[in-house]
Structure formats: C-alpha cells, structure tokens
Amino acid sequence: MLTGYEHVNVNRDLYIQVNDVHQLYVADCGNPKGVPVVFLHGGPGGHTGKACLQFFNPEKYRVILFDQRGCGKSQPFLSTEKNTPFDSVHDMEVIRQYFGFSSWVVFGGSYGSSLALTYAIIHPERVKHLVLRGIFLGRKVDVDWLYRGGAGYFYPEQYESFRSFVSEYEDPVVGYHEALIGDDEERRDEAYKRWAKWEDSLLTLFPKFPDPTTLSDEERSISLMENHYFYHKMFFESDNYLLEQADRYADIPMDIVQGRYDVICPPFGAHALAKACPKARLHLIEASCHSPYEPAMKDQLIRIMDNLGN
C-alpha cells in the first residue's frame, strides 16, 4: 500500500478577492513547473490542509488548494451569501487565471466531485483530467439516502440522535434549516453538532464515533453549508443536472474512485456517472467506505496520480 507524499513546505499562501463579499484562502504547493492540479474539498463546508497534499508527488505536481466560500480560512466565515456551486466555479476560474494556467487536473471527492463536474460542464476546455472520489450527484435520491432514512438503516442509533432533534418536522433537512438560521443560539449550536456528527459517524469502514459534546469551527461550516445547499436543491436547474449535462464532459479523461461500502455516497452514484461516461475508468475499492484516507482508497488515488504524472 502506498502511504502518500510529504510536502515539507507550502510555496506560498495568499488571499484572493473573488467578489465584493468573499476573499478566499489559497495555497500554492509542490513543483512550480509541475502539472497543475486543483484540489476541491468536500462538504460543502469542508476545508483544505496538509493532509490533502499526500496524493500528489511534489516533484511532479503543482497543487493548488483553496477553501471555498464561507469555510476554512476564507472570509467571511460561515457566509452563505452568494454561495452556490456556480459561484465556486467562478472562483476556480479567478484562481486559474491568477496563476496563468491554460488548463489543470481537477481532483475532487464527495461534494468536491459535484463541484468538479459542475466546473467541467461550464469550462470543459480547462480540464486536463478529472479524478473523482466518492461520487455525490446532488440529486434528491442522494440527499434522501443520507438524511431521510437510507443510511440510517446502517447506523440506527446515530440516525435516531440526528432525527430526534427535529422530530416535529416531516423533512429533517427543513427542520435543521430552521434551526441553523434561527435566532436561538443554543438550539443553533445543537443543530450544528447533531448534523455534523451524524455524517462524521459514517466516514470510515470501521467507524470512529465523534464526541457528541464538542463543536468545532469545521463542524459549524459543514452543517451550515451542507444544509444551505441541500435545502436549496444544490441550486441546480433540475434534479439530475450533473448527469443530464454529461455530454459536456464525457470525453474528458476521467478516473472515478469509489468505496464499495460508502454509506455517505453509495456506489450507485459512481455507477451512474460511469455509465454516462463510457471512457471513464471506474475503480471500486472493496475494503473502503467514504474517507479518502482509508488505506486502500488512498493507495488507489496515489497510483492514479502517479500514472498521470508520468
């Protein structure tokens, strides 16, 4: 099993103003003359960090990390204003143009795969290769699976804690939305905890259940941004938007890496994407769940990037 690369230093980190509201944190890493690759974190509401770099040989790749609007080190933190996948596509173009890349490899997992596909729909000519992991297509069936019952069959105790907080609501996504945008700070903090810790419980094949009493900034941003996007149906014009537009990106070289036992983003999404893109290579990882840092998942992602780098 490949264990990953160490990037000793970041070449530089900076902030880029992308509109009148948002200033994004960006890190420029790896070989300044290497193949450019942009890393798209998940969530929405996640963030980037040194762990994200281990898939990329620092001698072969120039890796651009950035924290999406409202999360990580980007400012203002927790802002949902002008915050959609299409806004992030705009931001990716601002960043690409800032560095002067004509095109780049786009690497994204979970919601990062959704953003990567959205970018490829709008700017296919800017994508050298798509490397996607844990496919999330943003459809009603995908959100229903995670929040309205499906995944709960595998983790009933954790789902009961998540669901009981908004038991008076028929739709938990609506119930959490009301709590997260409400004025009751104590209830809002509890909503942050319950939403984030439900998903945290599902990340790995052998689960590591999080402490239910703590609340981190990342848990705040994950909860708020995920709910914001899912409440608004991903801001897509149709439920199956990403697959309906597959002809826009089907010819882009693509590797799809999917954990067989991914409870957050089950394999049916990766299967549907592979069917829509016959030239794509689908890698089903048998002993893995959702996290890219599980050994077999990490190994496959590194092998793909090593091959591309050659």
Q: Are residues 145 and 73 in the same domain?
A: no
Closest CA to 131 of 310, 296, 292: 292
Nearest-angstrom CA–CA distance, 55 and 300: 9
Of 201, 262, 288, 291, the catalytic one is 262
Q: Please indicate whether residue 262 is annotated as part of the active site.
A: yes
Residues 248, 133 share a domain: yes
pLDDT value for 1: 85
Out of 176, 207, 234, pick the residue that ends a domain.
Answer: 234
Catalytic residue among 41, 47, 177, 290: 290
- Domain containing 161 equals 141-234
247 classed as catalytic = no
225 shares its domain with 162: yes
CA dist., res. 68 & res. 72, Å (int):
7
Q: Are residues 25 and 149 in the same domain?
A: no
Residues 249 and 114 occupy one common structural domain: yes
Residue 117 lies in a domain: yes
Q: Which residues of the chain have pLDDT under 70?
A: none
292 and 230 in a common domain: no
Q: What is the 8-class DSSP label of residue 101?
A: -
Taken as a whole, the chain contains a residue count of 310
The whole-number pLDDT of residue 241 equals: 99
For the chain, report the end-to-end CA distance as a whole number of angstroms.
Answer: 19
Identify the CA nearest to 292 among candidates 39, 101, 100, 115.
39
Q: What is the pLDDT of residue 212?
A: 86
5 within a domain of the structure (yes/no): no
Average pLDDT of the chain? 98
For residue range 192-203, what is the model confidence (pLDDT) as tens digits? 999 999 999 999
What is the tens place of the pLDDT at every residue in 204-219?
999 989 998 999 999 9
- When divided into structural domains, the chain yields a total of 2
Query: Annotated catalytic, 290?
Result: yes
> Which one from 22, 67, 74, 110 is the annotated catalytic residue?
110
- Find the CATH number of the domain harbouring 69: 3.40.50.1820
Q: What pLDDT was estimated at residue 309? A: 82
Q: Indicate the residue among 185, 201, 234 that finishes a domain.
A: 234
Contact indicator for 234, 114 with CB cutoff of 8 Å: yes
